[in-house]
Amino acid sequence: MVRMIKGHDLDGLYTLPVIRMQPDTQPASPPASHEAPGPASQSAPSGRAAVLDLEALDRGEAPLSAAVYHAISQALRTGHLPANSRLIESDLASALAVSRTPVRDALRRLESDGLVRSEPNRGYVVADLMEDVAHVFLIRERLEGLAAAMAAESITRPELESLDELQREMEGIVASPPTDVDRLVELNGELHRRITEASRSRRLIQLVERLHPQYMSYQVLRLYTDEQRGRSIREHREILDALWQRDSDTAERVIHLHLEHGKEVVLADMTTNRVGRGTTK
């Protein structure tokens, strides 16, 4: 069952889809970027829904606060809650059928992650992760480039084969318009995540994750034209070819170029929007 919450704010309206599982239904797995959206999530008007895995809670595998954190975090990381929207504790608690305490704990963790911020007289607000986008992309280029170079030396054949599977699915999506952008975002995020994890550097993996690459990917792929998406997927193939060949220098170079193209599209869109707003006043 998909339940919707709406929080009113002077700046507008936001909607958060949350799937609530009934005890006698087949459980859904916690959302992972490589899984295809299920039927329930596809019916949510704002896109992929955040999932609260009740069965995991019953088994004692996930504390309630962690499950609430995960549900809200997924909605934020996939761009389904607009920047600067208020996150009202009572609304979130009602939608998730929990008390306000785990919601409050989750919001504190999300503030530490940089996904939300606390403002006087407004409470928690969705952070604008695009306000420093040029620097974020620059840092991602360096970190993910290093990760790709390290991965070229340590990645295993099964890992490379799994990356090839992701790549083939993405190639199929862009070759069959209209493009399923939500699915492409999931696959793109999973491919980047697996390459970073293949670096075998726990500290580097954590640093990359703190930059919220999934959110950035959602914004970039949403703005891309079909031609630009095609170019992006071809760049993925170049990266994978370099990994297969154990070519650290090429893997790092192509990752830099790949992210630079994404940055250019986002900055161009931000410039256009600023000019547009200026001319309408």
SS3 sequence of 21-46? CCCCCCCCCCCCCCCCCCHHHHHCCC
**Residue 121 structural domain:** 2-126
User: Which run of H or E residues covers position 57?
Assistant: helix 54-58
Q: What is the pTM assigned to this prediction? A: 0.68
Q: In the numeric block, which tokens belong to residue 219? A: 């914004």
Q: Indicate whether 85 and 162 sit together in one domain.
A: no
pLDDT at residue 86 tops 50: yes
Q: Indicate whether 161 and 220 sit together in one domain.
A: yes
pLDDT at residue 21 tops 60: no
- The confidence score (pLDDT) of residue 173 equals 95
- The confidence score (pLDDT) of residue 37 equals 36
Q: Give 151-205 pLDDT, tens digit per residue.
A: 999 999 999 999 999 999 999 999 998 989 889 988 999 999 999 999 999 999 9
Q: Which of 77, 96, 126 is the last residue of a domain?
A: 126
Q: Which of 126, 150, 184 is the last residue of a domain?
A: 126
Specify the number of domains making up the chain. Answer: 2
Q: Indicate whether 100 and 171 sit together in one domain.
A: no
Q: Indicate whether 117 and 185 sit together in one domain.
A: no
The pair phi, psi for residue 19, each rounded to 5°, is: -85, 125
| Among 90, 81, 91, residue whose Cα is nearest residue 116 | 81
Give CA 220 to chain center in angstroms. Answer: 11
Q: Indicate whether 81 and 146 sit together in one domain.
A: no
Q: How far apart are CA 137 and CA 246, in angstroms?
A: 25
User: pLDDT grade, residue 133 (50/70/90)?
Assistant: confident
- The confidence score (pLDDT) of residue 58 equals 46
Query: What is the DSSP track for 111-162?
Result: HHHTSEEEETTTEEEE--TTTTHHHHHHHHHHHHHHHHHHHHHH--HHHHHH
User: Which run of H or E residues covers position 212?
Assistant: none
Q: Indicate whether 237 and 180 sit together in one domain.
A: yes
pLDDT at residue 140 tops 90: yes
Q: Indicate whether 257 and 272 sit together in one domain.
A: yes
Mean pLDDT computed over 113-121: 89
| Cβ count within 10 A of residue 178 | 7
- Which of 272 and 170 is assigned the larger pLDDT? 170
- Which of 225 and 251 is assigned the larger pLDDT? 251
Q: Indicate whether 245 and 146 sit together in one domain.
A: yes
CA dihedral 122, 91, 89, 19 (to 10 degrees): -130
CATH assignment at residue 85: 1.10.10.10
Q: In the numeric block, which tokens belong to residue 235? A: 């760049």
pLDDT at residue 14 tops 60: no
Percent of the chain with pLDDT over 70: 74
pLDDT at residue 129 tops 80: no
Q: Indicate whether 165 and 243 sit together in one domain.
A: yes
Using a 10 angstrom Cβ sphere, with 0-12 exposed, 13-18 middle and 19 or more buried, the burial of residue 18 is: buried
Q: Please answer whether residues 208 and 196 qualify as being in contact, where contact means their C-beta atoms are separated by less than 8 angstroms.
A: yes
Mean pLDDT computed over 65-71: 85
Q: Indicate whether 67 and 182 sit together in one domain.
A: no
Q: Indicate whether 173 and 261 sit together in one domain.
A: yes
Mean pLDDT computed over 16-34: 36
Q: Which of 126, 149, 173 is the last residue of a domain?
A: 126
| Among 7, 14, 6, 56, residue whose Cα is nearest residue 31 | 56
Q: How far apart are CA 182 and CA 17, in angstroms?
A: 15
Mean pLDDT computed over 117-138: 88
- Which of 187 and 11 is assigned the larger pLDDT? 187
Q: In the numeric block, which tokens belong to residue 124? A: 């928690």
CATH assignment at residue 203: 1.20.120.530
Q: Indicate whether 204 and 249 sit together in one domain.
A: yes
Mean pLDDT computed over 89-102: 89
